[in-house]
Amino acid sequence: LKREDLSPVRSYKIRGAFNFFRKTLAAGNEAELFVCASAGNHAQGFAFVCRHFGRRGVVFMPVTTPQQKIDKTRLFGGDFIEIRLVGDFFDDCYRAALEFTDSSGAHMVPPFDHKDIIEGQATVAYEIADQMPGARMPDIVMLPVGGGGLAAGVTHYFADQGRE
């Protein structure tokens, strides 16, 4: 059992956002503004990482987002985060985030469909393997699937280790 609810933002989503920022900034890119679209967990991980790296972030969330998710996102990001509530559905706020990114020159941090996000989510698999006794690999891994970033990262990691 891998307890991702014990992370600072109670979700594995922080892993992908952290890896995206780390790689963007390590490439010598002095990006000052980052953007994401999310109805909750990705926004919270993104906000935490913005504060960690001292970078401004704009979070686009649907107007239907529960107030608790909005409040937690503000809490994790502090003064580094601006939240914009747009549209009733994720696709609406995602479109608005892309338009804002294009017009502002900011960096879009997608919730799941980017190689750096997937690579960050794959660290879950690395930790699972590291915690297995005697360097064994697990026989079965069960995980939640939403956008597919976690599943892609975990399956890629285990495939690289010779497991299918």
Structural contact between residues 45 and 149, judged by C-beta atoms closer than 8 angstroms: no
CATH of 4-111, one of 3.40.50.1100, 3.40.50.720, 3.40.91.50, 1.10.3300.10: 3.40.50.1100
Structural contact between residues 9 and 32, judged by C-beta atoms closer than 8 angstroms: no
Q: Which residue did the predictor score with more confidence, 81 or 136?
A: 81
Cα(45)–Cα(77) distance, integer angstroms: 9
The domain ranges of the chain are 4-111, 118-160
> Per residue in 82-98, pLDDT tens?
999 999 999 999 999 99
Query: Whose CA is closest to 39, among 11, 3, 7?
Result: 11
> Per residue in 11-62, pLDDT tens?
999 999 999 999 999 998 778 899 999 988 999 999 999 999 999 999 999 9
